[in-house]
Amino acid sequence: MPVAASAVYFLNLRGDVLINRLYRDDVGGNMVDAFRTHIMQTKELGTCPVRQIGGCSFFYMRISNVYIVIVVSTNANVACAFKFVVEAVALFKSYFGGAFDEDAIRNNFVLIYELLDEIMDFGYPQNLSAEILKLYITQEGVRSPFLSKPADKPVPNATLQVTGAVGWRREGLVYKKNEVFLDIVESVNLLMSSKGSVLRCDVTGKILMKCFLSGMPDLKLGLNDKLFNFFLNIFFNYGKTIELDDVTFHQCVNLTRFNSEKTVSFVPPDGEFELMKYRITEGVNLPFKVLPTIKELGRTRMEVNVKVKSTFIEKLFALGVVVKIPVPKQTAKTSFTVTSGRAKYNASIDSLVWKIRKFPGQTEATLSAEVELISTMTEKKSWTRPPIQMEFQVPMFTASGLRVRFLKVWEKSGYNTVEWVRYITKAGSYEIRC
Amino acid sequence: MSRNDSKYFSTTKKGEIPELKEELNSQYKDKRKDAVKKVIAAMTVGKDVSSLFTDVVNCMQTENLELKKLVYLYLINYAKSQPDLAILAVNTFVKDSQDPNPLIRALAVRTMGCIRVDKITEYLCDPLQRCLKDDDPYVRKTAAICVAKLYDINAELVEDRGFLDSLKDLISDNNPMVVANAVAALAEIQEHSSRPIFEITSHTLSKLLTALNECTEWGQVFILDALSRYKAADAREAENIVERVTPRLQHANCAVVLSAVKMILQQMELITSTDVVRNLCKKMAPPLVTLLSAEPEIQYVALRNINLIVQRRPTILAHEIKVFFCKYNDPIYVKMEKLEIMIKLASDRNIDQVLLEFKEYATEVDVDFVRKAVRAIGRCAIKLERAAERCISVLLELIKIKVNYVVQEAIIVIKDIFRRYPNTYESIIATLCESLDTLDEPEAKACMIWIIGEYAERIDNADELLESFLESFPEEPAQVQLQLLTATVKLFLKKPTEGPQQMIQVVLNNATMETDNPDLRDRAYIYWRLLSTDPEAAKDVVLAEKPVITDDSNQLDSSLLDELLVNIATLSSVYHKPPDAFVTRAHTSAQKAEDEEYPEGSETAYSESSSANPANGAVSTSASVAPPSPPPAVPVPDLLGDLMGMDNSLVPTDEPATPAGPPLPILLPASTGQGLQISAQLTRRDGQVFYSMLFENNTQVPLDGFMIQFNKNTFGLAAGGPLQVPQLQPGTSARTLLPMVMFQNMSQGPPNSLLQVAVKNNQQPVWYFNDKIPFHVFFTEDGKMERSAFLETWRSLPDSNEVSKDFPAIVIGSVDATLERLAASNVFFIAKRKNANQDVFYFSAKMPRGIPLLIELTTVVGSPGVKSAIKTPSPEMSAFLFEAIETLLKS
């Protein structure tokens, strides 16, 4: 059964109900008490996001300082429920203009009630697209289209658009200048052993799009993926191709067509959205290599040497490079020498934090530090050595090698569009064991 | 631009309610709206504002949509507590449902459906009827869901007013969202109904698959979930379906992906071409892996499902083990699940890498995770014979770190490794003994003691080691005491020297005199008596060879797995339990209606049986029996029966003709089975074991889709084919012979003759009942022996294999009749001799796998008392054999 929820609760960290909505009466109104006593107030919190208490099951997620709890008593679709929460939060954020937290909920409770009524009916998720909902659920009730216009003339097509095949774009948009912005954002995830062998490495990328296009345009996107343009590569020798492991698309992309013709064609929503996500595991260009050597000299002293090398071309540079090197809890004193950037000891995360604002390609930087430890008798267990973690951003670089070949915009009025493409690679979980 | 609604939460001094009342009746619109907001705010924080009902409802007649919505929200919450006043709102609802604005029409219908007050429900019907045929798709899609709401409140009303037909019409609607909601509503109604309401034909199937392309993401989930119940006719159709569903794997919504995977896996069962299957497996892997980059909660759901998927199709993710390596910052519940899957995917090819990972995890901070990692190493050792040695060396390395809980966990798994590979790795015992004094957990202690006892002869100072534990014997937990007791006895039997002898005295004294634990005391007494009467026998018992244990990492039973795979993405797949194990409110209104027709008994019987469902589906889990899918009810004979006016007690055509025979024992009385009565007995016919069953339908509805499963049992009996029972019209019955196979799902543990059966049909909950296995059905037809062969067999078996038993109450009246009866059950007469005034008869029989059975019966014909002696290579069966003999002689 695809039912996702019988009731939805929004709780603050103390467990007070901020807002709740019962969609079905198979769960009692006081079920949230069970959640509070059996999960929130116990060590269970955070050990498992799906729990059964009595005849009911609870799914919960924490988002900033709010717990969103879904209660069901049937064999509900959990995947659907969690996805609903994620999407609903995105929707609320888009309405509140950014933040989603306890205050935002209190300040907008009327609006949230209204949205909750609209986006889920009897436990079945309905249209959650902010673009369409904003047509008839407005920020200020007073400015509701039904008041500004005579009652017998409802907002044109609102209901048709909610239910229509293109349920994410409204008609009749007009822009003076037709522009499309494409951002290719990649996160590199790396897990490297202390000996330097790559245990796991993948890139999860997404293509973010910002569209300011008039009318109902049809777009077609071409990438240098093998799948996408097999023929183009054969006939036009389009250069290097890469192989994506998996692609998922925004609901605007025609999946059947992608499957048969291998083209990404779509009618985009207006404004900003995530067009596609992809994953790649083969042939990843790691932007940084990290070579740590950590020596424990007796019980009270440690020597830390970390060398970081950038492997991308000289013309490019990385921004906001941070290397976090964990040290034992009983660290007393540290001293550093670094070839670039700045390092300091941060006791709250038990790490040496080394920051380099700008890191050019094909260079290397080293940190050597001496750490003095307080010798303790109680600490019998040896130090577990968490991995070194790294953060960075490399503009105009893709770890996957992905490139946009073309973006075609077709609209019946035949206007010209300007396309902008940017690339950036960030660190996902970039971990090196030491 | 955020608003500041929080002001509505601020409380005024006393007299809040009267103040609100006044504001609600204000002549100014804005003031009224603010007042309603305050009421809603109060409601949200749990204050009782039901006393304002009339005043709030008075604000309902408004042009302001926002205000209207708030009033409606209030109504949903309080209408139940004020049913009489709720009627006040009906007029507005009905009026709103005819509003020119489709949003208001939909809102009215949507809200009315949420108000579960009978009086309102009556008024809902007409507006709903109109809205189902509304011009605007938004109204229609809301009305579709509303039918499901109404069905939940009053199923009869929905059926009487023909809403189901209107709903079915909506499946052909030209708007995809209407279609999706109609499908969701129908699927839900079907789930609660005993009648076939929403049957997916190949025509609807193809229509819905087309609608998939245009639906919202959620609509796709509804449709895929509903379609996953569809059983394709053949491999070709299955391939077609799969082809149209696979594009969904690329969807960004995880629920769509999982529902698509569910559907593909279902259809794959039918696909025979290995190429196609391999190709599909290849296609499913990347989307499943992608789910692991979603939010941790979604990852958790995905991992629980992947756990099931790799059990059925290990190839899908065989090469992807790396993606399950734990990240340092993964939440603990994600890590634990990843570990579980890593064990499942571990193979000779990747074990080195996996071991490195496990070793890494074993040094992390979270104690539970570390323990699980250590245990995982052990499980890999048990699973992969060729890697066992490497696993053990990793465990030894970990022991050397001397982290207390790591050592203890390692010892626990090493004990299992010893039992898996006897006489292979005992050389490491010395290393284990080094960490003896760090053990402080009962399980680890017990395991270590077991190891010492088991290998006492190879440990030079075993007696010293055990002695060190003995000092604290009275304070130890029962688990440790029991092991200490057994280990000391083992030590004594292996090294019957002075030291152990003293120890055993101490232990036995302690365990018999100074304990309140009956288990410990009993075990001690048994050892004591064994040792004092016959030390050799004690050796045979205590030092007997243990069966080799096997890998349990693919623990789910195949029929349970089937059921769980049908439920991918749902709670059932997360809990790894069938839905009826945790959903209590199985049948709602439909059930209620049915119960009313059986005023007495049935209601209690129902609750009884549902509580009897084993919590984790113990009964239904086992058995690779009835394939879960094919509807056994063949419509053809049913039709014929009706046409020709025959009695409805049909015999399925492809079964051996069922003779009337003696009445079968009733195992599920109609009072327990809500009108369904099942009688059954195991019989043997033409060299095969059948389960002869009689189904009688005393309910008011036709029953169909019968399926049967057998729990694990001593003889491994399981169904040899699907249960062939046609649709049973009310008041009719059907007999069937279900062919049975043996040694399919053997249960562990002491042998017994219990046969647990689960029968289900499409209309009722699963019924569980117990039957007794009459052993004589296993006697094979070729059991007749020549005299000489008989004598030879008798002599060749040691005397210890002879067991005898008296049946003082049994009289053998007529020798001939008895012999005939026995021969009919494949117990063959060999010879007879006279011994004083007694007659001695010899019989032979053969059990499955060719095990001979020799029987000697001594009796005085015509007077009570039969002495029976049997001799067989497997005397552990004797209890059953005597039972069988007794039954045969009695009948």
User: Which tens digits make up the pLDDT trace of B399-451?
Assistant: 888 888 999 999 999 999 998 888 888 888 888 888 888 888 899 999 999 99
Is residue B706 a contact partner of residue B695, using CB atoms and an 8 Å limit? yes
From residue A96, alpha-carbon distances to A90, A109, A144, B27 in Å are 10, 11, 17, 32
Rounded to an integer, what distance in angstroms lies between the CA atom of residue B805 and that of residue B868? 5
Q: What residues contact residue B335 under an 8 Å CB cut-off, 6+ apart?
A: B326, B361, B366, B369
User: Looking at CA atoms only, how far is residue A250 from chain B in angstroms?
Assistant: 6
Is residue B121 a contact partner of residue B158, using CB atoms and an 8 Å limit? no
Position A298 in a domain: yes
Instruction: Name the B residues in 49-108 with CB < 8 Å from any A CB.
Output: 63-67, 69-70, 72-73, 76-77, 100-103, 106
User: Which tens digits make up the pLDDT trace of B480-502?
Assistant: 999 999 999 998 888 888 888 88
User: Which tens digits make up the pLDDT trace of B831-861?
Assistant: 888 877 788 888 888 887 778 888 888 888 8
Instruction: Name the A residues in 213-272 with CB < 8 Å from any B CB.
Output: 245-251, 254-256, 258-259
Rounded to an integer, what distance in angstroms lies between the CA atom of residue A198 and that of residue A244? 19
User: Which tens digits make up the pLDDT trace of B724-764?
Assistant: 888 888 888 888 888 888 777 777 666 777 888 888 888 88
* Same structural domain, A380 and A313: yes
Cβ contact, residue pair B574, A50, below 8 Å: yes
Q: Report which DSSP code applies to A225.
A: B
User: Looking at CA atoms only, how far is residue B128 from chain A in angstroms?
Assistant: 15
Could you state, in order of their start, the residue ranges of all structural domains in chain B?
Answer: 5-226, 441-548, 591-773, 778-890
Strands B754-760 and A17-22 come out as unpaired
Position A159 in a domain: no
Rounded to an integer, what distance in angstroms lies between the CA atom of residue B301 and that of residue A81? 11
Whether the CB of A157 is below 8 Å from some CB of chain B: the reply is: no
- Residue B376: which pLDDT band, with cuts at 50, 70 and 90? very high
Is residue B767 a contact partner of residue B668, using CB atoms and an 8 Å limit? yes
* Same structural domain, A416 and A268: yes
* Same structural domain, A330 and A411: no
Whether the CB of A202 is below 8 Å from some CB of chain B: the reply is: yes
* Same structural domain, A210 and A270: yes
Is residue A81 a contact partner of residue A75, using CB atoms and an 8 Å limit? no
- Residue A87: which pLDDT band, with cuts at 50, 70 and 90? very high
Rounded to an integer, what distance in angstroms lies between the CA atom of residue B669 and that of residue B694? 12
Q: Which helix (H) or strand (E) element contains residue B277?
A: helix B274-290
Which CATH number belongs to the domain containing residue A37 in this structure?
3.30.450.60
Task: Give buried/exposed letters for A269-307 (b at 16+ CB in 10 A, else e).
Answer: bbeebbbbbbbbbeebebbbebebebeeeeeeebebebe
User: Which tens digits make up the pLDDT trace of B176-234?
Assistant: 899 999 999 999 999 888 888 888 888 889 889 988 888 889 999 999 999 988 888 88
* Same structural domain, A249 and A311: no
Quote the radius of gyration of chain B (alpha carbons, Å): 35
Rounded to an integer, what distance in angstroms lies between the CA atom of residue B481 and that of residue B487? 10
Whether the CB of A1 is below 8 Å from some CB of chain B: the reply is: yes
Question: What was the pLDDT predicted at B632?
Answer: 39
Cβ contact, residue pair A144, B188, below 8 Å: no
Which residue range forms the structural domain that includes residue A339? 288-395
Is residue B542 a contact partner of residue B527, using CB atoms and an 8 Å limit? yes
* Chain B contact set for A82 (CB, 8 A): 254, 295, 297-298, 301
Rounded to an integer, what distance in angstroms lies between the CA atom of residue B322 and that of residue B732? 58
User: Looking at CA atoms only, how far is residue A196 from chain B in angstroms?
Assistant: 14
CB atoms within 10 A of CB A167: 25
Strands A404-410 and A418-432 come out as unpaired
From residue B194, alpha-carbon distances to A79, B78, B189, B367, B610 in Å are 28, 32, 10, 49, 17
Instruction: Give A302-349 as a 3 state SS string.
Output: EEEEEEEEECCCCCCEEEEEEEEEECCCCEEEEEEEECCCEEEEEHHH
Q: Is residue A401 left, alpha or beta, with left meaning phi > 0 and alpha meaning psi from -120 to 50?
A: left
Inter-chain Cβ pairs, chain A and chain B, closer than 8 A:
305
Fold of the domain built from segment(s) B591-773: Immunoglobulin-like (2.60.40)
Is residue B289 a contact partner of residue A245, using CB atoms and an 8 Å limit? yes
Q: Which two tokens stand for residue A136?
A: 């008839």
Rounded to an integer, what distance in angstroms lies between the CA atom of residue B376 and that of residue B445? 20
Instruction: Name the B residues in 836-875 with CB < 8 Å from any A CB.
Output: none
The residues pairing with A395 across neighbouring beta strands, listed in sequence order, are A424
Collapsed DSSP state (helix, strand, coil) of residue B836:
coil
Instruction: Give B728-768 as a 3 state SS string.
Output: ECCCCEEEEEEEEECCCCECCCCCCCEEEEEEECCCCCCEE
Cβ contact, residue pair A126, B73, below 8 Å: no
Residue B881 has pLDDT above 50, yes or no: yes
Rounded to an integer, what distance in angstroms lies between the CA atom of residue B67 and that of residue A110? 10
* Same structural domain, A45 and A122: yes
Comparing B8-12, B268-272, B658-662, which segment has the lowest mean pLDDT? B658-662
* Same structural domain, A91 and A229: no
Rounded to an integer, what distance in angstroms lies between the CA atom of residue B332 and that of residue B366? 8
User: Looking at CA atoms only, how far is residue B569 from chain A in angstroms?
Assistant: 5
From residue A98, alpha-carbon distances to A15, A207, B570 in Å are 24, 20, 32
Q: What are the DSSP calls for A270-309, one per residue?
A: SEEEEEEEEEE-SS---SEEEEEEEEEETTTEEEEEEEEE
Is residue A20 a contact partner of residue A27, using CB atoms and an 8 Å limit? no
* Same structural domain, A259 and A338: no
Written out in words, the top-level CATH class of the domain with range B778-890 is alpha beta
Angle of the B83-96 helix axis to the B65-78 helix axis, nearest 10: 150
Rounded to the nearest angstrom, the gap between the alpha carbon of residue B177 and the centroid of all alpha carbons in its chain is 35
Q: Which two tokens stand for residue A29?
A: 């109104």
**Token pair 């969103």 is at which residue?**
A68
CATH of domain B5-226: 1.25.10.10
Rounded to an integer, what distance in angstroms lies between the CA atom of residue A212 and that of residue A174? 9
Question: What was the pLDDT predicted at B182?
Answer: 94
- Answer whether B5-226 and B591-773 agree in fold: no
Average pLDDT over residues A113-130: 91
From residue B561, alpha-carbon distances to B289, B566, B688 in Å are 21, 9, 29
The residues pairing with B770 across neighbouring beta strands, listed in sequence order, are B756
Rounded to an integer, what distance in angstroms lies between the CA atom of residue A418 and that of residue A432? 42
Q: Which of B813, B792, B799, B789 is nearest to B866 (CA)?
A: B813
* Same structural domain, A411 and A391: no
Which CATH number belongs to the domain containing residue A341 in this structure?
2.60.40.1170
Position A41 in a domain: yes
Rounded to an integer, what distance in angstroms lies between the CA atom of residue B836 and that of residue B831? 16
- Which candidate from B64, B101, B403 shows the least CB-CB separation from A154? B101
CB atoms within 10 A of CB B413: 22
Q: Report which DSSP code applies to A29.
A: T
Strands A418-432 and A179-192 come out as parallel
- Which candidate from B101, B102, B213 shows the least CB-CB separation from A151? B101
- Residue A151: which pLDDT band, with cuts at 50, 70 and 90? very low
Question: What was the pLDDT predicted at B553?
Answer: 59
Whether the CB of B569 is below 8 Å from some CB of chain A: the reply is: yes
- Please give the sequence-ordered ranges of beta strands (E in DSSP) within A159-310, or none if there are none: 179-192, 198-212, 218-223, 246-249, 264-266, 271-280, 288-297, 301-310
Give the best residue of B80, B145, B250 to mutate against chain A (max A CB count within 10 A).
B250
* Same structural domain, A110 and A205: no
- Which candidate from B45, B177, B571 shows the least CB-CB separation from A78? B571
From residue B807, alpha-carbon distances to B602, B885, B889 in Å are 41, 10, 10
Residue B639 has pLDDT above 70, yes or no: no
Is residue B868 a contact partner of residue B840, using CB atoms and an 8 Å limit? no
Instruction: Give B635-685 as a 3 state SS string.
Output: HHHHHHHHHCCCCCCCCCCCCCCCCCCCCCCEEECCCCCCCEEEEEEEEEE
User: Looking at CA atoms only, how far is residue A375 from chain B in angstroms?
Assistant: 19
User: Which tens digits make up the pLDDT trace of B560-594?
Assistant: 999 999 999 999 999 999 998 888 754 443 333 33
Question: What was the pLDDT predicted at B814?
Answer: 81
User: Which tens digits make up the pLDDT trace of B698-728?
Assistant: 888 888 888 888 888 877 888 887 788 888 8
User: Which tens digits make up the pLDDT trace of B335-370?
Assistant: 999 999 999 999 999 999 999 999 999 988 889 999
Question: What was the pLDDT predicted at A230?
Answer: 53
Question: What was the pLDDT predicted at A1?
Answer: 61
Residue A254 has pLDDT above 60, yes or no: yes
- Residue A239: which pLDDT band, with cuts at 50, 70 and 90? low
Q: Which amino acid is it at B12?
A: T
Rounded to an integer, what distance in angstroms lies between the CA atom of residue B618 and that of residue B756? 10
Q: How many structural domains are present in chain A? A: 3
* Same structural domain, A269 and A417: yes
- Which candidate from A79, A158, A279 shows the least CB-CB separation from B258? A79
The full length of chain A comes to: 434
User: Which tens digits make up the pLDDT trace of B41-62?
Assistant: 888 887 888 888 888 888 888 8
Question: What was the pLDDT predicted at A290?
Answer: 92
* Same structural domain, A82 and A48: yes
